[in-house]
Amino acid sequence: MQRRTVLSTAAGALAAAISAPVLAATPARKRSKATVVFIHGAWHGGWCWVPVTERLAAAGFASVAVDLPGHAVGSAFPAGYFDQPQDVAKLTTAASPLAALNADSYRSHVMAIVEGLVASGSGPVVLVGHSLGGVTLNTVGEAAPQLVRRLVYLTALNPVAKPAAGAYFTDPSMSTSKALPLFIGDPTKTGAIRFNHRSTDPAFRAAAKAAFYADVTDEQFTAVANLLTPDEPAAVFGGQAMVSASRWGRIARTYIRCTEDQAIPIAAQDQFIAEADALVPRNRYTVRTLRASHSPFLSRPAELARLIEEAASS
């Protein structure tokens, strides 16, 4: 009996000795790999990132695709949008149900998610923002640089030299944008930058595809148009989004340029990079380039996923 006890104790100790390093190493590996948090652009939702998040999951990365307030299942729609036939005159002047939202609304929403991830041990966090999502990267990075390992701007607005994203709309670098002429209504009256994704006008639909989704199929564009929401709160474009070198500027950053983008032209993308590098010359952007239009999460998901994996691993 004593011999059995000794053998049992020895076997248990040996098993513990063998397994202990493995068990200790596993959580450490998990903690070292960043969780990627995706921020969509105007009129979109977290759904747009699925082709990328699926590929990141296969590579072992956890990710969260955020729905910003007023988007996806939290959407609210202006009068006239769903009328059959559509009442364009009503839609053009209707007050936006999202008018009260602003850049702080987005920042608070994303901050709560990032803080929760870090507190639960799912950090460090890498934030990826597309297009208008760059504003939220600015505000979150400025508010809590200690929570973010890296910021990844995907053909995104990155106000540095001007106070707000909307201030760049009249900049010469945006003069060739095919997106700006497509907005309807007066944002100062409706409270929104409005886009009529339900338009049946062939010329308008062709122009919208050229601006945002030039390199996806017509079938894909039709599917996406049925998921987009019409209003983006005007206050997000006009809200304070400038950053400081001492806070935002200390976070590692990647900018993914899209050379065929007709919404945020390559000249504007390069201007954002240059302004940020001038603000923080000792912590310059890591720059990567895709030959893609404005929405590579649909047209180039595999290539985009590889670039994000690289950014999240560095």
**pLDDT bucket at 158, cuts 50 / 70 / 90:** very high
Query: For residues 157 and 165, is the Cβ–Cβ distance under 8 A?
Result: yes
Q: What local confidence, expressed as pLDDT, does residue 192 receive?
A: 98
Query: For residues 132 and 43, is the Cβ–Cβ distance under 8 A?
Result: no
Q: What local confidence, expressed as pLDDT, does residue 32 receive?
A: 65
Question: Is it the case that residue 117 has pLDDT exceeding 70?
Answer: yes
Q: What local confidence, expressed as pLDDT, does residue 28 receive?
A: 36
Question: Is it the case that residue 21 has pLDDT exceeding 80?
Answer: no
DSSP 137-153: HHHHHHH-GGGEEEEEE
Q: pTM for this structure? A: 0.89
Residues 161, 187: Cα–Cα separation, whole Å: 23
252: left (phi over 0), alpha (psi -120 to 50) or beta: beta
Q: What local confidence, expressed as pLDDT, does residue 12 receive?
A: 40
Instruction: Point out which residues pair with 194 in neighbouring strands.
Output: 184, 231
**pLDDT bucket at 33, cuts 50 / 70 / 90:** confident
- Tell the residue number behind the tokens 């956890």, with chain if given: 62
Stronger pLDDT, 13 or 22, i.e. the higher one? 13
Helix, strand, coil percentages (3-state) for the chain, rounded to 5, are 50, 15, 35
The arithmetic mean of pLDDT across residues 205-227, rounded, is 97
In 68-222, beta strands by DSSP E = 125-130, 148-154, 192-194
Question: Is it the case that residue 162 has pLDDT exceeding 90?
Answer: yes
Residues 263, 174: Cα–Cα separation, whole Å: 8
Q: What local confidence, expressed as pLDDT, does residue 7 receive?
A: 35
> What share of the chain in percent tops pLDDT 70?
90
Question: Is it the case that residue 64 has pLDDT exceeding 70?
Answer: yes
